[in-house]
Structure 1
Amino acid sequence: MVVIQNLYLIALITICQNHFNNAQLLPPIEPPPENANLDFNGLANRHGQQAVQHEVTTDDGYILTIFHIPGRSKYPVLLVHGLADAADVWLLRGKGSVGVTLANEGYDVWFANSRGNRYSRRHVSLDPDNDAAYWNFSFHEMGYYDLPAIIDKIINETQKPSVTAIGHSRGNLLFYVLGATRPEYNSKVNVMISLAPICHLTNTKPPVITILQAVPFIDQLFNSLNMKITEFLGYNSTSTKLVRAYCTYPIIGNELCLNTIYFPLFGFDEKELEASFVNVFIYHFPAGTSWMEILHLSQLTRKDFAQFDYGTAQNLLVYNSPVPPAYNLTLATMPFALLVGRNDRLATLPDVATLRSQLPNVVDYTVNRRALFNHADAGVLGRHMPDYLFPDISRVMRRYNERPLINKN
C-alpha cells in the first residue's frame, strides 16, 4: 500500500508541476512556524551567527550561492547537502544541528548549494523558467563543476591549503565524482566525512527501489505525451506546494506525511523525527533539483556507478561509446570516513560495503550504535544528533583538525 501511495504521489506532483500553476487549487495549510519563514541568513541570525553570502560561477555558467560563517579553524569546513535539499538543512535543529554547533565552536564553516536549488537557480545565459537546457544536469555536473568552483572559492578566500568536508546522502556522491574525474582535487580535501553515503543503489529497500525503478517509465510516459519534465520539486513550484499542503493539513497532515512519505523512504524513527517538526522542515525541503538527476539516480539501481546513460545512440555521440563510462573510484584518493546506519533505506549496509571496497582511502567506517539510525537522522534532521552522531564526527575531526568538534566531555 505504501509503495502505491508513493508512486501515486510522484506521478501526481509531476502532473501538477507540468499543468497547474494556481496555488488556490491546493488544499488549506496551517500557518507556518517562525523558523519556516526564515531563509539561511535568518536561521543563522536566529541562532546567534552572522552569515556571509558569496556567489560562485562554474565553468559551465551556473551561478551558485554559498554561505560562510567565519571562524578560526585550521581547515575550513564545507557542508554539502543532499538531493533536492539546500544549505538550510544544516541549521534546522538549532543548537543541536551540525552547522550551528560547528559555528558556535569557532569553526570556519562554509555551506554549499547545488545548482538548481532555491539559492542556486541562476545561469549566465539560461533562464531556468524558460530554457529547458538549464536543467540538463545531474549529480555528475555537480561533482565535476560545482564542487571545484566552491572549493577553489573557499581556498582563495581563506588562503588555506584544503577543506574538511562533511556531506549528507547525495552530497557525498559529488565527492566520489570529483575524486574520480578531477583527481587533482583529492589533495584539496583534508578529509571527507560521508553521512549516509549514497553511491550504489542496487540494495536499496522498498519502497525506494520500487520508486526509482519506476522513474524511467514515468519519464517515457510524459515524453510520449510531449510533456518533457525538467525541474523536479522546485522550491516555489506547485508540486512542492502540494507536498507542503499534504504534510501540513490541519490535525492529520504531519502524521500522514511522516508515515506515508518520509519514514518509508528514509527509515522509521519516530523519536528522532517528531510530527511537530514537519511544520519546520517541510518549508525548507524540498528545495529543487533536475529531473535528469532523478533519472541518473534511478540508473544506479541497475548499473555500476557510471555517468548518465542517454541510450545507445546518444551515448555514441556524447561518450563515443554505446555505454556510459564508469567512474574509476580508485582515483578518488582523498581520505573518506563512512558513517552509516542499519535502519537506512537509501544508504544500505550492503551498498556502502561495495563503496568501501572500491575507495582506496577509507580512514573510518562506523555503523551507528543506534539501531533505528536512519537516513534523515544522519546529520540533518535527527532530534538528538549530539548524543548518537556527533561523537563519531568528532573522532574523525580530531584526527584531521587541530582541535576536536563538539567535545561533549
Structure 2
Amino acid sequence: MVVIQNFYLYLTALVTISQSRVNNAQLLPPLNPPPENTNSDFISLANRYGFQPLQHEVTTDDGYILTLFHIPGRSKYPVLFTHGLADAADLWLLRGENSLGVTLANEGYDVWFANSRGNRYSRRHVSLDPDNNATYWNFSFHEMGYYDLPAIIDRILNETQKPSVTAIGHSRGNLMFYILGATRPEYNSKVNVMISLEPICHLTNTKPPVMTILQAVPFIDQLFNSLNITITEFLGYNSTMTRLVRAYCTYPNIGNELCLNTIIFPLFGFDEKELEPSFVNVFIYHFPAGTSWMEVLHLSQLTRKDFSQFDYGTAQNVLVYNSSVPPAYNLTLATMPFALLAGRNDRLSTLPDVGVLRKQLPNVVDYTVNRRALFNHADAVLGRHMPDYLFPDIRRVLKRYNKRP
C-alpha cells in the first residue's frame, strides 16, 4: 500500500507539472542540445539513411488529421508500421541500418509509417484546436482502431492499388488491429498478416512498477476531477513534463544511466547490452511524442477488466452504450492472420497475458517467444542487435505471407 501511495503522489506531481501554465523557462533546468545524430524528425532521419520519404495527410471520419510517411519500394507491396503508446514513426528508424524500417526499405519493401492521433505528427483536426479545445483529446486506442486504421489502410490501398497491407506493430500499435478486426470485420480481408511485436491486450499479469503506476491512474484522475482540473494531453512532445524528462535523461555525465536504471529498465525490462547509455541521447529526443490522458485511463482499465471499450462510469455508460458496463470486444471477429512475437523479459507484455490473447484470437498463424532470454519491450524497436535475434522471425512471416511481384 505504501508503494502505491508513493507512486500516486509521484504521478500526481508529474501531471500537475504537465498541466501547469506557468512560464516553462522558469521551471526547467538548462536542456542539453540534441546530439547531431538524433536528427529532429522523421523526414531528416530518413534523409540521413539515403531515402526521400513522401508525406501524406489522412483525415479520419471523425475529423482527425493524421500524418502518414511513405518510403517507396521496388516491390510495391505495402508494409504498414504502427507504433506504441505516446510514440511516433521515428523509432522505426532510430537504429539506422540496424532498425527494422531502414532494413525493410533497403530490401525493397514499400514501407508506410503511421502516426496515431495526438502525437507530434498527428496533432491536428478539421475544427478542433488541441491547445484550446479539450474535446480534441476525447479519444483512446478505441478510436485509433476504429477510425485511424481504416483511414490509413484505405489510403495505402488506394495509392498502391493492392488488395491488402502487411502490418507490423509494436505494443499498443498491435492493440489497434485487434479492435479493428473486432469492430470493423470488413477490414480483416484488407490485412495480409499482422505481425505483433510485444503485443498487449490484457494486462492482468503486468509487473511492478508498471502495474503499480497503471493502478494509480484512476485515483489520480478522480483527484483532479474533484479539484475541477481537466487532464487532456499526456506526455506531449513539447510539454513541460516531457522536457523535464529529457533534461533528466541527458544531465551531464550521469543522466543517461540514471534514465535507464530508474525509468526505462524498470518499466520495460533490463537488458544493458541492447540499450546502451549513449543511445539515450538519441531516442529521448524522439520519445515520448504525446497521446491523450483518456488513452492512459483506458490502458489502466486493462489491468482489472476484460478487453472492452472505455469505461465512462455507470451513468455515462448507459448514455453511450445503453449498458451500465462497456461492451467487450469480440475478438472472434478479428479473423486476419496474426503473428505474435513475445519476450520473456517484458515487464509490460508478459507471456501469461500474451497466452490469453493467443487463445482468444481465431487466426494466430505464428507464435514465437524470442530466443534471447533478456528480450524485452524496448528491444523490439530499439535493441542494438535486432538483426540477429528478431529480424529472422519477422522475415519468416513476411516470406510466408508476402507474395511480392
- Which stretches in structure 2 are left out of the alignment for 5+ residues? none
Partner of 1:66: 68
1:220 aligns with 2:252: no
Match of 1:197, as an amino acid? P
Q: Does 1:50 align with 2:52?
A: yes
Q: Which of 24, 28, 33 is matched with 2:30 structurally?
A: 28
Q: Distance in 1 between matches of 2:230 and 2:96?
A: 39
Counterpart residue number, 2:152: 150
Among 106, 126, 129, the residue aligned to 2:128:
126
Note if 1:382 corresponds to 2:389.
Answer: no
Aligned-pair CA distance for 1:21: 4.2
Q: What's 1:407 paired with?
A: none
Q: How does 1:203-214 map to 2 (within 5 A)?
A: 203-214=205-216
CA deviation map 1:256-284 (0-9, x unaligned): 11111110000000110111100010000
Cα deviation code 1:118-149 (max 9, x no counterpart): 00000000000000000000000000000000
Q: Tell me, what secondary structure is at the counterpart of 2:397? A: helix
TM-score, normalised to structure 2's length? 0.97
Flag structure 1 segments of 5+ consecutive residues without an equivalent. 405-409
- Contact 2:7–2:212 under 8 Å retained in 1: no
Secondary structure of 1:192's counterpart equals strand
Deviation at 1:403, TM superposition (A): 5.8
Match of 2:311 among 309, 312, 321: 309
Counterpart of 2:402 in structure 1 is 401
Q: Secondary structure at the match of 1:303?
A: coil
Which residue type is aligned with residue 381 of structure 1? L
Provide the rounded CA distance (Å) in 1 between the counterparts of 2:6 and 2:388.
34
- What secondary structure sits across from 1:251 in the alignment? coil
Q: 2:394 is matched by which residue type in structure 1?
A: I
Residue 285 of structure 1 corresponds to which residue in structure 2? 287
CA 21–337 in structure 1, closer or farther in 2 if over 3 Å, else same = farther
CA distance in 2, matches of 1:186, 1:23: 49
Residue by residue, what CA displacement relative to the aligned partner does 1:238-257 show, whole Å, maximum 9, x if unpaired?
11101111111111111111
Q: 1:270-326 CA distances to partner (integer Å, 9 max, x unpaired)?
A: 110111100010000000000000000000000000000000000000000000000
Structure 1 counterpart of 2:80: 78
The one-letter amino acid of 1:170's match is R
Shift of 1:7: 5.0
Q: Is the 8 A contact 1:338 1:364 kept in 2?
A: yes
CA contact (8 A) 1:29 1:250 kept: no
Separation (CA, whole Å) in 2 of partners of 1:5 and 1:68: 44
8 Å CA contact retained: 1:6, 1:260: no
Alignment of 1:300-339 (within 5 A): 300-339=302-341
The match for 2:265 among 258, 263, 266 is 263
> What is residue 174 of structure 1 aligned with on the other side?
176
Instruction: Show the counterpart of 2:255.
Output: 253
Structure 1 CA distance for aligned equivalents of residues 387 and 60 of structure 2: 35
Q: Which deviates more from structure 2 when the two are superposed, residues 176-185 or residues 26-35? A: 26-35
Q: CA deviation at 1:5?
A: 7.3
Length, aligned pairs only: 403
CA apart distance, 1:102: 0.8
Q: 1:339 & 1:24 partners in 2: Cα distance?
A: 45
Offset at residue 11 of structure 1 (A): 2.6
Q: Distance in 2 between matches of 1:203 and 1:43?
A: 36
| Displacement after TM superposition at 1:75 (Å) | 2.7
Partner residue, 1:40: 42
- Alignment partner of 1:359 is 2:354: no
Q: Kindly indicate whether the alpha-carbon contact (under 8 Å) linking 2:120 and 2:290 is maintained by their aligned counterparts in 1.
A: yes
Residue 261 to residue 2, structure 1, CA distance change in 2 (3 Å): farther
**Cα displacement string for residues 365-399 of structure 1 (whole angstroms, at most 9, x for unaligned residues):** 00000000000001x11110000000000110010
Q: Deviations over 1:128-177 (max 9, x none)?
A: 00000000000000000000000000000000000000000000000000
* 3-state secondary structure, aligned to 1:119: coil
Aligned to 2:98: 96
Inter-partner Cα distance in structure 2 for 1:263 and 1:231: 25
What's the TM-score once normalised by structure 1's chain length? 0.96
Distance, in Å, in 2 between the alignment partners of 1:231 and 1:290 is: 5
Please give the alpha-carbon distance, in whole angstroms, between the structure 2 residues aligned to 1:223 and 1:4: 18
* Corresponding residue of 2:19: 18
Mean CA deviation greater in 199-208 or 27-36: 27-36
Equivalent AA in structure 2 for residue 293 of structure 1: E
Structure 1 stretches (4+) deviating beyond 2 angstroms?
A: 1-13, 28-31, 35-38, 72-75
Does the CA contact (< 8 Å) of 1:200 and 1:351 recur in 2? Answer: yes
User: Which deviates more, 119-128 or 4-13?
Assistant: 4-13
Paired with 1:53 and 1:237, the residues of 2 have a C-alpha distance of: 25
Counterpart amino acid of 1:281? F
Tell me the residue number matched to 1:235.
237
Whether the 8 Å contact between 1:90 and 1:99 is mirrored in structure 2 is: yes
**Structure-2 change in CA distance of 1:2 and 1:322 (3 Å):** closer
Shift of 1:339: 0.1
Question: RMSD in angstroms over aligned alpha carbons?
Answer: 1.5
Q: Secondary structure at the match of 2:357?
A: helix
